[in-house]
Structures are given as C-alpha cells and as structure tokens.
Structure 1
Amino acid sequence: SGAAPTGVGFARSNFYFRSLPRKSLFCYTKNQKTRMVVAPRCSISSSRPASQPRFIQHKKEAFWFYRFLSIVYDHIINPGHWTEDMRDEALEPADLYSRNMVVVDVGGGTGFTTLGIVKHVDAKNVTILDQSPHQLAKAKQKEPLKECQIIEGDAEDLPFPTDYADRYVSAGSIEYWPDPQRGIKEAYRVLKIGGKACLIGPVHPTFWLSRFFADVWMLFPKEEEYIEWFKKAGFKDVKLKRIGPKWYRGVRRHGLIMGCSVTGVKPFGGDSPLKMGPKAEDVQKPVHPLVFLSRFILGTLAAAYFVLVPIYMWLKDQIVPKGQPI
C-alpha cells in the first residue's frame, strides 16, 4: 500500500463534482465546465496476482463469457452502463481534434466507443483491437466502422510499432486485463511523442454487496490506482474525470462499470521507462471443468447483479424527489 500521488489533477464535470468528498480536498475553478481537484492521500489497494484472476480476467473464461454476452451487449449492457452521452463526455478529454489522427481503440469490442471516435477522426485512421472475435463481429456490422481496421489482439502485447499512434483509447477493457500496469505500459509505448492515452473503466464500489460481486467478477480499480499506473508507465499531465449515468445523481457506492476517464500525455519517444518482467498469466494451463463451471456461474450471477443495479438506481431516481440524495 502507499499514498496517492500528490499534485495530480482530477478533471470532472460540475454535475459529478458534488459526489466528491469535500474533506481534505483543495479545489479551484479552471473554467465554468471543468474543475481540477488534487487527490487526497489514501491507501492504494494491492495489485491482484496474475495467478489468481477474477472470472473475467482469465482470458479463456472471458472468451466464453463474451461469446454469449456479445449477442446482447449493445442492447442490454450499454443502455444501463455506457450511454452515448457518457461516451461523448468520456472521450472529450482525449482531445480528438483532427480527422487525420491515427487512433487505436484497444478492447474496442462491438465498436460502440469507436462510433464516438469516428465522429472526430476518419474511420480509415482508426484500428479496433479486441481478443473476442464475437465482439468484433458486431463491430464489423456497423456501417460507420466499415473503413476501420479491425483486428484480434492482446491489450498487454499490442501488435503496433513503438511511437505509432496519436491517440490511444480503451473503454471497458481494463477490467479484463490480468495485469493492468502492463496494459498501460503498452499504451505508452505505441503512442507518439505528445500523444495522449484515454482509458475509460470501472471504479470500485463501497457498498458491501456490490463490492462482493465486483471482486468475484472482474477488476474494479480504485481511482488512485489508475493515477498510479499511469504515472509509473511514464505519463505526464495525468487527469481523471468522473463519469456515470445521469440517473445515478452522482452516486458511486455501487461502483460503476464505466466510472472514470483517465488521460495522460507521452512526454518522450520510445518505450515506457517502466521495466517489467515476462507476463505471468498462463492461459494455456488447463482448467478443471468443475472449477470452470462454478466460476462461470458465479461470474454470470455477478454480471446479472450489475445489470440490475442501474435499473434499481433508475427506479430510485424516478421515485425520490429531485434535489434529494438517493
């Protein structure tokens, strides 16, 4: 454990600013839309060993999980956790200001996030990478993405040369990585000097039942962990922007599958200054069928729970008068 790095900015909209704890925070207004907050000192949870993956972090198990989830992903999962408004707000810090930018969308899945990218960048300059052929099959069916390059690959071992892209985007993928630090190190490597990484992912819940299902299902990092991973990889000007469904009214105790957008700038060319050993995960090691089945069932139950949470929060938003906490 340790302390969150000091002097790191958290960029966030005024709507979600109310959800930040006010104690021990120093705030100042940068403009009317965005505020910067210096992170409080707090403990960083220990990294989960790659030898003990949560269900969705084991590549073989996740392959079969997404084999079935891909059928309903855009229609069941996204409406409750990753709306178009959230997507556009989360991509804003990526600063996609030119249609000629080279962009890699890592863990692009069905291409929902990529649809937001190609609003600003020509599709021919965008590469979608994912490990699930079933998810990518959905992306290939989307007309605005027809000119994108769509490839299978591993976020922790990207098939791109060093200093390749202007922007690195990854949304809803880090929870699947056995070693998040390695994936962020790869993000640094493939970017050009001055390039920016934008990583959008979940945040850890504090409510006990949500925390239980989160911890058995997939990786829900704490906000300070994102900052730590980016800084260790060598990124500068690291910022975190909180996002969430509007009907949550800023509530974050149940965790959010899409809860923050973290950005960092690559200051120097070449590989990341962070040195890491070989990958520890052995995806070829056979898994006992009963162990796999039990973990698959538990993971499916956890997924079902997080499908129900946004419905529960939507009902509370409809019932509880506006202006009152939910």
Structure 2
Amino acid sequence: MGILEDKSNARLFYKYLSKVYDRVNRFNWSEEMRAEALSWLEFGADPTVLDVGCGTGFGTEGLLEHADDVHGLDQSVHQMEKAFEKFGKRDRVNFYRGDAERLPFRDDTFDVVWSSGSIEYWPNPVEGLRELHRVAKPGGQVLVVGPDYPHNPILQRVADAIMLFYDADEADRMFEAAGYEEFEHHIQRATPQSPRAITTVARVPGGDGSDAAGSDADPAAPDAE
C-alpha cells in the first residue's frame, strides 16, 4: 500500500496541494480528456449525478454541462473549499464531506456516478467500487479514472510506494470483484510526455440503460453529513 493510500496522509497532502491543484492538474487530467470521458456516458433526461472525490470541482464542472442535479463528495475540506468558491455549497452543486468507501447515500440513487483522480488514494479500492455500484441506479453508469501502471520497472517501484497504480488486468479484477459485469477501459493522456490515465466505464446491471431520469428525492442517507 502506498503512503498516500492512508487517509490521514492523503488529507494532509491535499491540504497543501489544494493551493495549486487547479494549476498543476491540467498537465495530467486536461479539459480535453474530461470531455472525451464525458462523451462515453449516457446522461438521459434530468439525470442525478454524483462526483466521488470531487476535489476542487474539475470533474464537477464538466458534469454540470450535462446535468442540473449534481452532488459532490470528498474527504478533504481544503479541496472542497476551492469547489465552494466556484459553485457555492448548495447552489449549483450539493457537497458532502465523506469517504468513498462508505458513501452516505441510499442505494440506487444516481444515474451516473463519476470518480476521477480519487481511486488511487483508496486503501480498499474494491470496497470503494462496490459503494459506487451500490448508489448507482440499475442500468446506470459508473466512470472511474485512475493512474495507469507504468511500464518502466524503476517507475513501478516509485508508483507502488506512493499510491495505487493499476493496469487493465488489475482493473478487470477489481471491477469484477466489486460486482460489475459490463465495463470497458480506455487509456487517456494529456500529452505524449504526461502520465497515462486508465478510464473505466461500467454499466450497473438491471434496467435498460436508456431511460436515466433524475429524482426529486433527497439522495442522502439519514446519517449523511
């Protein structure tokens, strides 16, 4: 387990990274990559959308181009404060402080569940993927972006010491263990010199996937913050 897969270390890391995150993030996860990932999703009419590990709201901003009912969750209050500056706390987006491995939402709530740049910090990624599956509606979609495992042996040792990096084979194992039956992986890259991202788009079993529609019900479970 990498040093940043410890939740307390990750919170401390983002306390300082949040100050410059939006400036450095675009070299690894660009607007063009975000737009491409969004094009692989089917939002339907009036979708209810969740951004897990929303951070400063980079993914959230893209989701707002496709949905009005958007919810964001992150464990780092410092990251979310940057998102509050963009969207307000309860204006365009409903924000929650919480853990990806214990989502404070009811089952079968969201038409689309998005998570970009978060899974690499989860100590138990399969449990986190199960949670994304649980809160997604039958027939809904889950999209997860993580760092692709490097090919260079030296970089592999560095990567393993820091956080979770994984290739398509490991992604297959994790998603299957989390209960997904239908998914596909895409490799994305901001520039030829940038690290690769592995983006997985999964369909939650049930439903026909063609009539994603939002709900006026409060998505939060009774114990949500």
- TM-score of the aligned structures, taking structure 1 as reference length: 0.60
**Aligned equivalent of 2:39:** 92
Partner Cα separation in structure 1 for residue 87 and residue 70 of structure 2:
14
> Identity, % of aligned pairs?
38
Q: CA deviation at 1:261?
A: 1.3
- TM-score of the aligned structures, taking structure 2 as reference length: 0.86
Deviations 1:172-206 (A, max 9, x none): 00000001100011111111110110111111101
Partner Cα separation in structure 1 for residue 77 and residue 136 of structure 2:
25
**Aligned equivalent of 2:56:** 110
**Aligned equivalent of 1:192:** 137
Residue identity in the other structure for 2:52: V
Taking only aligned residues, the RMSD between alpha carbons, in angstroms, comes to: 1.7
**Mapped pair 1:131 → 2:96:** no
**CA separation of 1:84 and 1:144: change in aligned 2, threshold 3 A:** farther
| Shift >3 Å, 4+ stretches | 143-146
Q: CA deviation at 1:96?
A: 2.6
Partner Cα separation in structure 2 for residue 209 and residue 144 of structure 1:
43
Aligned counterpart in structure 1 of residue 189 of structure 2, from 229, 234, 244:
244
Q: CA deviation at 1:107?
A: 0.4
Partner Cα separation in structure 1 for residue 98 and residue 178 of structure 2:
21
Aligned counterpart in structure 1 of residue 2 of structure 2, from 54, 65, 70:
54
Partner Cα separation in structure 1 for residue 154 and residue 174 of structure 2:
27
Please show how residues 1-326 of structure 1 align to structure 2 within 5 Å.
Answer: 53-76=1-24, 78-98=25-45, 100-122=46-68, 125-143=69-87, 146-248=91-193, 255-256=195-196, 259-268=197-206
Residue identity in the other structure for 2:36: E
Q: CA deviation at 1:213?
A: 1.9
Point out the structure with max Rg over C-alpha: 1
Residue identity in the other structure for 2:201: T
Partner Cα separation in structure 2 for residue 190 and residue 261 of structure 1:
19
Q: CA deviation at 1:144?
A: 8.5
Partner Cα separation in structure 1 for residue 144 and residue 26 of structure 2:
20
Deviations 1:91-118 (A, max 9, x none): 22222343x1011100010000111111
Residue identity in the other structure for 1:264: A
Q: CA deviation at 1:209?
A: 2.9
Residue identity in the other structure for 2:140: G
Gaps of 5+ in 2: 208-225
Gaps of 5+ in 1: 1-52, 249-253, 270-326
Query: Which of the pair has the greater relative contact order for Cα pairs under 8 Å at 6+ separation?
Result: 2
Residue identity in the other structure for 2:166: P
* 1:210/1:255 contact within 8 Å kept: no
Residue identity in the other structure for 1:59: K
